[in-house]
Structures are given as structure tokens and as C-alpha cells.
């Protein structure tokens, strides 16, 4: 049986990255000829039985106030009980902020091999080999999991959500829940923006924008495209933009469907964070900018003239 960890956001909704994990887990279960089931630990506001449309037959729910806030130590112990009680042989997480904390703990606890950063369904023809992104997106490793229980953390935006029909049976899971040692005192949400890690389109700015006061034209384009905002390292280091917008080797790694790089030359360290994007558009006044070599589409021109036209043309579409 394939068990999928369903991560709940602060607002009580299932995170988009978990919908990807659900779809992935359901397809993997089909490939293995077994059932797919989900497990929810945090209080959810939405109707969990509706998650059946992603291909899961059953949802285990642990109802305990101690799980309201995330503590990886507490969550891992409950997940271990869920694995034991459900008899799961494969556990799927999203490789998101919570998955990165719980999946390794569960792996060490159960001595179950973990591949974190999976980008495709495993090859199960001979053994159990999972393709994962390595070298910051510059290559893939095909990793064999050799233990009876296998854990996969799926990279966000690596697998397309597929909805069918179906309803899942929601059952309560009795588990021992420890008192959390981590006390969450505040959650700061970036309001009105698309979360960068989950964004399907990302608009990103570099030094070419010349200063933080010029970000308005980039924000206009992001708004028109319903895109997340990102930036290059020099921009974050100069405090033009917050650190969480920095994408690149030492910042965040993203894999949107469309990445639009504006005024970014495309240093290899920057490419490492964005090269898993499906389509890359580069706008730069320097035709020799290395980023053009990694791009699918490009405009050589003055971004201060191109951006407003770009935004206008997008608005015309709608």
C-alpha cells in the first residue's frame, strides 16, 4: 500500500504540493497494483473525503490538538504509527518545508530508505529506482531503495496534479501523540502574493532593474500573470528584496512552468536554482548575457521599455 502524507497549510487547506504528492502516490499505487491511501495530521477545514478524486481510497485522520502546529519530532512518531497500522510499504511526502523535516526523521526511525527530491515515478521493473534531481538541477541520480519500506519526497512542481472522480473513506487513526517541544509563536504570511515554491509562473528581477524603487514594473507583470516574484543573489544581498525571494544555488530552487528572468545575466549559480523550470524567458539588454544560452525565448532590449509592453500584452489576452 502507498501512504501519502497530506500537508495542511495554516489556513486549513491542503497544500498544492500535497495534491501533487497525492496524484503521484495514486499513480505509483496503480503501477504497483496496490491501493493508495492518505494521512492527515493537522486540523483540516476542507472535506477530506473529496480528496478521493486524486485517486486515494482512504484517508486516515489523527484528531489531536497537539498536531495543530508542526513539530517534526511529534509528526514523525505519528507517521511511524500510521505506517505500522496501515501496513504501508511506500510512503510519499512532498519535498516541501514540512516534508524536508519529517521524511528524514521517519526514514531514520523506520530504517526505511528515503529519496528526497524525486522528479518522476520510480522504475519498479527490476527493483525500486527513483530519479531525483542532483547537482542543483544540473543532473539526475537514479537511486535504488533497498529497504522493505520505501520513502519518497516529491519535488514541488515536478508532477502534474490529475483529478478524476471518487470519494475517499475518512477513518480516524488512533495514535499516541507526544506533547510538542517546538512552540509555534507566530506565522507570518506574505499576503497577496503567490507562494514562490508553488508558483506556476515566476517573474524574477536582477541588478538590471537598477534599484528597489523600480520593482513596480516587475510586480505589474507578476500580477498580470498571477506569478510569484523572485530575484537574483546580488539583489537579495543588497537588500533590495527579501531573502526569501532569492533563487539560485544558495537561495531557493524552483521549478515553475514558466520562469521570466529580467535583467539577470544568468551566472551558473543562478541557473542552478531555476534550470528545472519548463520554459525560460530572458529579457536582457546585453545580447551576450549567458542566460540566453539556457533560455527558450529571449528579448534583447531595454527592460524598462519591454516590461510595460509585456504586461499590456498579457492583459490583452484576458
Partner 1 sequence: MSYETGSLLGSATGHSNNRVPVNTIYKPKYQQMKILVCVSKTPDTTAKIAFTDNNTKFDSGSVQWIINPNDEYYALVRAIELKEADASTIIHLVTVGAPDADAIIRKALALGGDEAIRVNTESPDSFTIASQIAEVAKQGGYDLIFLGKETIDYNGSSVGGMVAELLDLPYISLATKFELNGAAATVTREIEGGEEVCEVSLPLVVSCNKGMAEQRIPNMRGIMAARTKPLKVVEPVATEALTIIAEFSLPPAKAGVKLVDADNVAELVRLLREEAKVI
Q: Which of residues 267-296 bind partner 1 (CB under 8 A)?
A: 268-269, 272, 275, 278-279, 281-282, 292-296
Name which position in 86, 136, 232, 265 contacts partner 1 (CB under 8 A): 136
**187 lies in the binding site for partner 1 (CB under 8 A):** yes
Site for partner 1 in 199-228 (CB under 8 A): 201, 225
Q: Are residues 26 and 146 in contact, defined by beta-carbon separation less than 8 angstroms?
A: no
Smaller CB separation from partner 1, 38 or 99: 99
Name which position in 46, 63, 169, 189 contacts partner 1 (CB under 8 A): 189
Q: Report in angstroms how near the CB of residue 37 gets to partner 1 at its nearest.
A: 23
Name which position in 57, 66, 85, 104 contacts partner 1 (CB under 8 A): 104
Q: How far apart are the first and last CA of the chain?
A: 44
Using DSSP's 3-state secondary structure scheme, residue 251 falls into coil
**121 lies in the binding site for partner 1 (CB under 8 A):** no
Q: How far apart are CA 218 and CA 264, in angstroms?
A: 13
Q: Are residues 196 and 230 in contact, defined by beta-carbon separation less than 8 angstroms?
A: yes
Q: Are residues 144 and 127 in contact, defined by beta-carbon separation less than 8 angstroms?
A: yes
**138 lies in the binding site for partner 1 (CB under 8 A):** yes
Q: How far apart are CA 156 and CA 44, in angstroms?
A: 21
**68 lies in the binding site for partner 1 (CB under 8 A):** no
Name which position in 122, 251, 263, 266 contacts partner 1 (CB under 8 A): 251
**71 lies in the binding site for partner 1 (CB under 8 A):** yes
Q: With CB under 8 A, what is the number of residues at the site for partner 1?
A: 106
Please report, for residues 191, 203, 312, the alpha-carbon distance to residue 234 in angstroms, rounded to integers and kept in the order given: 25, 16, 28
Using DSSP's 3-state secondary structure scheme, residue 233 falls into helix
Amino acid at each position: 500500500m502507498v501512504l501519502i502524507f497530506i500537508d495542511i497549510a495554516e489556513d486549513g487547506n491542503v497544500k498544492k504540493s500535497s495534491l501533487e504528492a497525492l496524484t503521484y502516490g495514486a499513480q505509483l499505487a496503480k503501477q504497483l497494483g496496490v491501493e493508495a491511501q492518505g494521512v492527515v495530521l493537522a486540523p483540516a477545514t476542507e472535506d477530506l473525503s473529496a480528496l478521493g478524486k486524486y485517486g486515494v481510497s482512504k484517508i486516515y485522520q489523527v484528531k489531536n490538538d497537539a498536531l495543530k502546529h508542526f513539530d517534526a519530532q511529534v509528526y514523525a512518531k505519528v507517521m511511524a504509527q500510521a505506517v505500522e497500522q496501515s501496513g504501508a510499504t511506500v510512503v510519499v511526502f512532498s519535498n516541501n518545508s514540512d516534508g524536508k523535516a519529517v521524511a528524514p526523521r521517519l526514514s531514520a526511525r523506520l530504517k526505511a530508505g528515503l529519496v528526497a527530491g524525486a522528479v518522476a515515478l520510480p522504475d519498479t521493473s527490476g527493483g525500486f529506482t527513483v530519479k531525483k534531481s542532483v547537482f542543483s538541477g544540473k543532473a539526475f541520480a537514479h537511486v535504488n531503495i533497498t529497504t522493505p519500506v520505501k520513502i519518497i519526497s516529491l519535488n514541488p512542481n515536478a508532477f502534474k496534479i490529475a483529478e478524476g472522480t471518487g470519494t475517499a473513506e475518512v477513518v480516524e487513526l488512533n495514535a499516541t501523540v507526544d506533547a510538542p517541544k517546538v512552540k509555534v509563536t507566530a506565522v507570518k504570511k506574505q499576503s497577496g502574493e503567490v507562494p514562490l515554491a508553488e508558483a506556476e509562473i515566476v517573474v524574477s528581477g536582477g541588478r538590471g532593474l537598477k534599484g528597489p524603487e523600480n520593482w513596480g514594473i516587475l510586480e505589474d507583470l507578476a500580477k498580470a500573470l498571477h506569478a510569484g516574484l523572485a530575484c537574483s543573489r546580488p539583489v537579495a544581498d543588497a537588500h533590495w528584496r527579501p531573502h526569501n525571494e532569492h533563487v539560485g544555488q544558495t537561495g531557493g530552487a524552483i521549478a515553475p512552468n514558466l520562469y521570466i528572468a529580467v535583467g539577470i545575466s544568468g551566472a551558473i549559480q543562478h541557473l542552478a536554482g531555476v534550470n528545472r523550470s519548463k520554459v525560460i524567458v530572458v529579457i536582457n539588454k546585453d545580447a551576450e548575457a549567458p542566460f540566453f544560452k539556457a533560455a527558450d525565448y529571449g528579448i534583447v532590449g531595454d527592460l524598462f521599455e519591454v516590461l510595460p509592453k509585456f504586461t499590456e500584452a498579457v492583459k490583452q489576452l484576458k
